[in-house]
Amino acid sequence: DLQDCVQLNQYKLQSEIGKGSYGVVKLAYNENDDKYYAMKVLSKKKLLKQYGFPRRPPPRGSKASSGEQPKAMAPLDRVYQEIAILKKLDHVNIVKLIEVLDDPAEDNLYMVFDLLRKGPVMEVPSEQPFGEEEARRYFRDIVLGIEYLHYQKIIHRDIKPSNLLLGDDGHVKIADFGVSNQFEGNDAQLSSTAGTPAFMAPEAISDTGKSFSGKALDVWAMGITLYCFVYGKCPFIDEYILGLHNRIKTKPVEFPEEAQISAELKDLILHMLDKNPETRITVPEIKVHPWLTKGGKEPLPLEEEHCTMVEVTEEEVKNSVKTIPSLPAVILVKAMLRKRSFGNPFEVQARREERSMSAPGNLLM
pLDDT one-digit tens code per residue, 261-307: 999 999 999 999 999 999 999 999 999 999 999 999 999 999 999 99
Q: Which residues contact 212 (CB under 8 A, 6 or more apart)?
A: 189, 190, 191, 201, 203, 204, 277
Share of the chain above pLDDT 90, in %: 64
| 23-39 confidence digits (pLDDT tens) | 789 999 999 999 999 99
Name the average pLDDT for the chain.
Answer: 85
Q: Which residues contact 42 (CB under 8 A, 6 or more apart)?
A: 22, 23, 108, 109, 110, 111, 179
For residue 365, pLDDT over 50 is answered with no
Q: Are 113 and 20 in contact (CB under 8 A)?
A: no
- Of 15-19, 108-112, 253-257, 261-265, the range with the lowest mean pLDDT is 15-19
Q: Which of 241, 236, 86 is CA-nearest to residue 174? A: 86
Looking only at the bridges linking them, the beta strands covering 97-102 and 322-323 are parallel
Q: Which residue has the higher pLDDT, 304 or 349?
A: 304
**pLDDT for residue 347:** 47
For residue 154, pLDDT over 70 is answered with yes
**pLDDT for residue 361:** 38
For residue 353, pLDDT over 50 is answered with no
For residue 43, pLDDT over 80 is answered with yes
**pLDDT for residue 330:** 60
**pLDDT for residue 237:** 97
Active site residue: 102, 103, 141, 158, which one? 158
For residue 177, pLDDT over 80 is answered with no
Q: Would residue 187 show up in a list of annotated catalytic residues for this protein?
A: no
Task: Average the pLDDT over 132-152 and give the result.
Answer: 98
pLDDT band of residue 221 (cuts 50, 70, 90) is very high
**pLDDT for residue 80:** 87
pLDDT band of residue 258 (cuts 50, 70, 90) is confident
For residue 362, pLDDT over 50 is answered with no
Q: How far is CA 218 from the centre of its chain?
A: 12
Which H or E element spans position 11? strand 11-20
**pLDDT for residue 220:** 98
Residue 252 is classified by DSSP as P
Q: Which residue has the higher pLDDT, 206 or 302?
A: 302
How does 151-161 read in b/e, with b if 16+ C-beta sit within 10 Å? bbbbbbbbbbb
Task: Average the pLDDT over 188-210 and give the result.
Answer: 89
For residue 65, pLDDT over 90 is answered with no
12 is in an annotated binding site: no
**pLDDT for residue 316:** 95
Q: Which residue has the higher pLDDT, 108 or 151?
A: 151
- Neighbouring CB atoms inside 10 A of 288's CB total 11
Residue 250 is classified by DSSP as H
**pLDDT for residue 223:** 98
Task: Average the pLDDT over 238-265 and give the result.
Answer: 95
**pLDDT for residue 245:** 97
pLDDT band of residue 76 (cuts 50, 70, 90) is confident
Q: List phi, psi (to 5°) of 182.
A: -95, 150
